[in-house]
Each structure stands twice: as structure tokens, then as C-alpha cells.
Amino acid sequence: MVDGRKANAESTQVALRAAGRQLFGQLGYEATSLGAICAQAGVTTGALYHHFGDKKGLFAAVAEELDAGLVRLASRARTQALERGANAWGGFLAAMDVFLQAGLNPEGRRIGLTDAPAVLGTQGWLEIRERQGLGAMVQTVVALQAQGLLQAGDPGLRARLILGLLYGAVEALAHDPQAADAALPDARQLLHAMLEGMRPSKSP
């Protein structure tokens, strides 16, 4: 019985997050009603309040899930690049490129760039981004430093700087999808150039 209730609760949360992501991404936070979310998820408003507290709580969960998905996507890209024979720096750049490319998704941009800072506050959104990506980036920095591919120094500081560059590049791309597609190669080149500046002068 307990397991059944737990499974039902988990499925309800999954349905609410999925509905929230779709509607927040398409309509924006302000234009999305609780009723529309619950109707899409096939649950009552009471279920939403029970699991997430309110609309803002659901939005925070959706934003965190979105960011966690980007981190996983970048990690897979790094692994695939290494399997194809890239060195550690090449795998790192592959992960950055995929993250940047994923940042062009219109629904993700609406949630992560337009609404998240306004709804959650700049600090709240930063905390989510660091909670998802900082640990993985610190590990990446430590690994690159151990191979002589990144300048020595505080891994946490360098990880935060790299994440700042990456999110800044995503935010710098135009909100119009066609314009963003056109600007992507230039943004990638600039990001790579800035990251290259963090390498030792004679790194492989």
C-alpha cells in the first residue's frame, strides 16, 4: 500500500512537471494558469498544492529539471567525444558546444532566460544552476588541471567562471530563433577563444 501511494505520488509529480514545462515554455509563467496545468496533467489543483506548494514552486521544479537535463546532455556529449578519440580538452569543448546548442530551444529559453530570473529572483535561479552544474564542472576542472590542460588554481572559482561564460553565451544569443541560429557559430568561436585563455601556455 505504501509503495502504491509512493508510485502514485511520483507519477503525479512527473505529470505536473511535464505539463508545467510544456505550458510555461509555450505561454510563459504569467499566462499559464493553475487550472490549465492541472487539466493538462489530469490532476486536481489540490494535488499541485500538495506536491509543489503553489505555481511558483512547480515552476522552480520545472526550471531545475530543465537545467539538470542540460547538464546530462553536456555530459553525454563529452563521453561520446572521448569515445570517438577526442582528448579531454576536446571532450570538454564538445560538452560546451552541445550546451550552447541546446540553449537555442525556444521553450527552454523562455523558462530559463525570460521567466526564471523574474519569478525566482536572480539569486534563486543562480542557486539552481549551481546546484545542478557546479559540482560536475568542478570535477571537470580538476580533471583538466591534472592533465595539464587548464591553468592551476582554485577549481571552484574556475568552474564558476566557466559556467558564467557558458550561460552568458546562451543569454547573448538573440531570442529570435532564426537570428540565434545565425549567431551560434560566432558565439561558439568566442566561447572557445575565452576558454582557450584559461589553458596553460604550452598545453597539448
Q: Which of 11, 33, 53 is the last residue of a domain?
A: 53
Looking at residue 34, which CATH number applies to its domain? 1.10.10
Q: What is the mean pLDDT of residues 121-127?
A: 92
Domain C-terminal end among 21, 37, 53: 53
Same domain, yes or no: 46 and 85: no
- Classify each residue of 40-55 as buried b or exposed e, where b means 16 or more C-beta atoms within 10 Å of its C-beta: bbebeeebbeebbeeb
| Helices H / strands E in the chain, number of each | 9, 0
**110 and 192 in a common domain:** yes
Question: Do 147 and 71 fall within a single domain?
Answer: yes
In a shared domain, residues 6 and 89: no
9, 24, 53 — which closes off a domain? 53
The confidence score (pLDDT) of residue 3 equals 58
Same domain assignment for residues 71 and 152: yes
pLDDT score at 84: 96
Residues 47 and 118 in one domain: no
80 assigned to some structural domain: yes
Which residues, 6+ apart, have CB-to-CB distance to 116 below 8 Å? Answer: 59, 63, 125, 128
Do 163 and 108 share a structural domain? yes
* Residue 193 pLDDT: 96
Whether 107 is in a domain gets the answer yes
**pLDDT (0 to 100) of residue 130:** 87
* pLDDT tens digits for range 38-90: 999 999 999 999 999 999 999 999 999 999 998 999 999 999 999 999 999 99
Does 171 share its domain with 71?
Answer: yes
**What is the tally of structural domains in the chain?**
2
Same domain flag for 22 and 110: no
Domain that holds residue 10: 1-53
Burial of 96-105, coded b for 16+ CB within 10 Å and e otherwise, reads: bbbbbebbbb
Whether 81 and 98 map to the same domain: the answer is yes
More confident residue, 87 or 2: 87
Does 44 share its domain with 71?
no
How far does Cα 191 stand from its chain's mean position?
A: 17
- pLDDT of amino acid 1: 43
**pLDDT (tens digit per residue) in 149-204:** 999 999 999 999 999 999 889 888 877 777 888 899 999 999 999 999 999 976 55
Let me know if residue 204 belongs to a domain.
no
Same domain, 46 and 63: no
